[in-house]
Amino acid sequence: MVIMGSVKTNFWIGALAALTLIYGAAYTLWMYKRVIFGAVANPEVAQLKDVNKRELLILVILATAVLGFGLYPEPFIAVVHQAANDLIVQAAQSKL
């Protein structure tokens, strides 16, 4: 949406932003391919062990929390909404 808005304002800035986005995605995919599927160049890294049960448990808990907030964000939004409303009320009051 930001790129579409910038195209409405200035076509060339929007085109540059879109091109930057495309190059960024291409570089990310190229880097991912090298890191995940490439050979291990450092022998110290090659000696590292995979995750253990404790690390896996923490990863599963964090992934579940992220997925939960992504699928049902209402509790988090309700807290933020209330805090934002309080801030707006305080900012709207006259300081005189």
Query: Over the stretch 32-70, which tens digit does the pLDDT of each residue have?
Result: 999 889 888 888 988 888 899 999 999 999 999 999 999
Domain coordinates in residue numbering, the chain: 1-43, 49-96
CA torsion sign for 57, 60, 62, 68 is: negative
Of residues 34 and 95, more confidently modeled: 34
Instruction: Find all residues with CB under 8 Å of 30, minimum gap 6, and list them.
Output: none
How far apart are the C-alpha atoms of 3 and 11, rounded to whole Å?
10
Nearest to 62 by CA among 51, 77, 48: 51
Answer whether residue 17 shows pLDDT above 80.
yes
pTM: 0.47
Contact predicate 6/17, CB 8 Å: yes
